[in-house]
């Protein structure tokens, strides 16, 4: 494969909106699930996408794989335009990307055995023919830590962790370069969660996979990802290398999320509440900085005008105006939140 000068994935100003009908079908509104998002993923890189429910992180993941129609902006995979692109470009996207899902049971066809599901991928994408198929299925199952005998089982006969492994094996059958993992460990038991994270780490190393890891569990993201993007109400509010995001978050939302990670330290008190109120609905996004109603540092100016854009500081970007106020680079918000050394 000729290595191009393009990044593996390039998303620019992507927006996704869904129409919703108001009461009795009057007054059509739309939910802006994803709003003006730009990001890049290089080959072999793992980008964590975090945020609360309703932040639009899953929608973004699906829009990147062209499973959700973008209303504005572009997605390019290896430089080829995917949004509104040619069928051949989308076919090439499908040849090189795969997705793993949150619910390991419901993402597998209940009427197919694990082996049939994987074999179907191999056949459709011409990755193996005839007698080579069962051999390859066995190989893939072994790769994800299952027994080749599991090929004859149906999802119902497997545990959650085994199903998730089967889902990963099916994704790998494509021989993808990018995997979008949507909350893929959230539904699993803690001990199984760690096994799946390790598996993803292994695979990434062995196959040079790029992963878009969508999760709400920041501890897992910290463990696995090279870079992290934080979403709030459809926008990326902060993005940067993992250690920077966790150690020196610049957006007050990120610091609140980081501080809220429950740690197994009996002597650490339950952190003080760093957010006000409840997450607003994506149906009525506040004016100004969308985060200002919950921000404990919000200034009157935060409630007006357009949403603040991302400011870049080296490889770190954040969407908060508070930093302009203080002359030094560390702003008042993070001082309080830096509990992780």
Partner 1 sequence: MTLLRVSDLTIQDRLGTALVDGVSLSVDRGEILGLVGESGSGKTLACRAMMRLLPGEGLTIRGGEIRLNGADVLTYGEKQMMAVRGREIGMIFQNPASHLNPVMTIGRQIAEGRRRHFGASRREARQHAIELLRQVGIPDPASRVDNYPHEFSGGMRQRAMIAVALACEPKLLIADEPTTALDVTVQMQVLHLLRDLRDRLGLAVILITHDLGVVAQTCDRIAVMYAGRLCETGGKREVLGAPLHPYTRGLIECQPSSDGGAGRMITIQGQPPLAQRFPAGCRFHPRCGSATAECASVQPEMRVEPGADSHAAACHHAASVVNRGMVHGH
Partner 2 sequence: MTATQSVAAIGRRVLPGGNTLTVGIVILAAWVLVALLCPWIAPFDPISQDADATLLPPNPAHPFGTDNFGRDILSRVMWGTRIDLQICFIGVAFPFVLGTIVGAVSGYVGGALDTLLMRLIDIVLAFPFLVLMLAIIAILGPGISSFYIAMAMVGWVSYARLVRSQVLSLKHRDFILAARSLGYSHGRILFFHLLPNALASSIVFAMSDCVLVLLSGASVSYLGLGVQPPVAEWGVMVAEGQGFITTAWWITTFPGLAIVALAMGFSFLADGLGDKLGARP
Do 82 and 93 touch, CB atoms closer than 8 A? Answer: yes
- Least gap, CB of 186 to partner 2 (angstroms): 13
Beta strands in the chain (DSSP E): 9-20, 29-41, 46-50, 72-77, 80-81, 97-100, 178-182, 210-215, 227-232, 235-241, 311-313, 316-318
Q: Give the shortest CB-65-to-partner 2 separation in angstroms.
A: 6
Q: How far is the CB of 172 from partner 2 (least distance, A)?
A: 11
First to last CA, the chain: 42
Q: What are 291's two structure tokens?
A: 């985060």
Which range of residues in 103-111, 231-239, 243-251, 305-313 is near partner 2 by CB under 8 A? Answer: 103-111
Tell me: does residue 159 bind partner 1 (CB under 8 A).
yes
Tell me which of partner 2, partner 1, none is bound by residue 321, counting a contact when its beta carbon lies within the kind-specific cut-off of 5 to 8 angstroms: none
**Strand-strand pairing, 72-77 and 9-20:** antiparallel
Of partner 2, partner 1, none, which one sits near residue 174, judging by CB under 5 to 8 A according to partner kind?
partner 2
Question: Smallest distance, Å, CB 66 to partner 2?
Answer: 9
205 binding partner (options partner 1, partner 2, none; Cβ < 5 to 8 Å by kind): none
Q: What is the DSSP letter of 144?
A: T
Contact assessment for residue 166 and residue 150, using Cβ atoms and an 8 Å cutoff: yes
Contact call for residue 58 and partner 1 (CB under 8 A): no
Closest CA to 200 of 155, 174, 169: 169
Q: Which stretch binds partner 1 (CB under 8 A): 101-109, 129-137, 192-200, 305-313?
A: 192-200
Tokens 């939140």 belong to: 337
Of 161 and 176, CB closest to partner 1: 161
CA angle 95, 187, 43 (to 5 degrees): 30
Longest dimension (CA), the chain: 69
Interaction pattern, residues 282-321, with partner 1; x per rule: CB under 8 A: ----------------------------------------
- Residue 143 interacts with partner 1 (CB under 8 A)? no
62 contacts partner 2 (rule: CB under 8 A): yes
> Taking a C-beta distance cutoff of 8 angstroms, is the pair 55, 233 a contact?
yes
CB neighbour list of residue 6: distance below 8 Å, 6 or more residues apart: 76, 78, 79
Among residues 80, 125, 154, 223, which is the contact residue for partner 2, using CB under 8 A?
Answer: 125
Any contact of residue 140 with partner 1 (CB under 8 A)?
no
Q: Does residue 201 belong to the site contacting partner 1 (CB under 8 A)?
A: yes
What is the smallest separation between the CB atom of 118 and partner 1, expressed in angstroms? 21
* Shortest CB 120 distance to partner 1, Å: 26
Q: Which long-range contacts (CB under 8 A, 24 or more apart) does 312-318 make?
A: 313/250, 315/240, 315/241, 315/244, 316/238, 316/239, 316/240, 316/241, 316/244, 316/245, 316/250, 317/236, 317/238, 317/239, 317/240, 318/237, 318/238, 318/239, 318/240, 318/250, 318/251, 318/254
Q: Please give the size of the binding site for partner 2, defined by CB under 8 A.
A: 26
Residues 93-132 contacting partner 1, CB under 8 A: none
Residue positions counted in the chain: 341
* Among 29, 69, 268, 325, interactor with partner 1 by CB under 8 A: 268
- Please choose, from the candidates 229, 177, 208, the residue with its C-alpha nearest in 3D space to the C-alpha of residue 8: 177
| Residues at the interface with partner 2 (CB under 8 A) | 62, 65, 67, 91, 94-95, 97-99, 101-103, 106-111, 120-121, 124-125, 167, 170, 174, 180
| Residues at the interface with partner 1 (CB under 8 A) | 52-53, 159-162, 189-195, 197-198, 201, 216-220, 222-223, 256-257, 260-271, 273-275, 277-279, 281
């Amino acid at each position: 494969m000729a290595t191009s000068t393009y990044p593996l994935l390039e998303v620019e100003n992507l927006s996704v909106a869904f129409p919703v009908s108001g009461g009795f079908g009057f007054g059509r509104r739309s939910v802006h699930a994803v709003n003006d998002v730009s990001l890049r993923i290089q080959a072999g890189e793992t980008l964590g996408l975090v945020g609360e429910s309703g932040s639009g992180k899953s929608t973004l993941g699906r829009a990147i794989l062209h499973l959700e129609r973008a209303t504005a902006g572009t997605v390019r995979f290896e430089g080829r335009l995917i949004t509104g692109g040619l069928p051949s470009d989308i076919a090439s996207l499908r040849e090189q990307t795969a997705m793993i899902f949150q619910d390991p049971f419901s993402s597998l066809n209940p009427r197919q055995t694990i082996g049939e599901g994987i074999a179907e991928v191999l056949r459709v994408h011409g990755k193996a023919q005839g007698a080579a198929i069962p051999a390859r299925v066995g190989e893939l199952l072994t790769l994800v830590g299952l027994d080749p005998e599991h090929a004859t089982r149906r999802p119902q006969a497997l545990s959650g962790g085994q199903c998730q492994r089967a889902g990963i094996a099916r994704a790998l059958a494509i021989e993808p370069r990018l995997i979008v993992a949507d909350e893929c460990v959230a539904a699993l038991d803690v001990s199984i969660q760690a096994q799946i994270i390790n598996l993803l780490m292994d695979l990434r190393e062995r196959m040079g996979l790029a992963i878009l890891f969508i999760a709400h569990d920041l501890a897992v993201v910290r463990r696995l990802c090279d870079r992290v993007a934080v979403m709030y109400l459809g926008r990326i509010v902060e993005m940067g290398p993992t250690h920077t995001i966790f150690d020196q978050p610049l957006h007050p939302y990120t610091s609140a999320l980081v501080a809220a990670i429950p740690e197994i330290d009996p002597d650490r008190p339950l952190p003080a509440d760093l957010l006000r109120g409840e997450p607003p609905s994506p149906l009525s996004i506040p004016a100004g900085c969308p985060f200002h109603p919950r921000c404990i540092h919000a200034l009157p100016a935060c409630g007006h005008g357009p949403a603040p854009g991302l400011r870049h500081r080296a490889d770190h970007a954040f969407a908060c105006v508070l930093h302009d106020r203080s002359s030094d680079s560390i702003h008042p918000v993070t001082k309080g939140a830096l509990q992780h050394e």
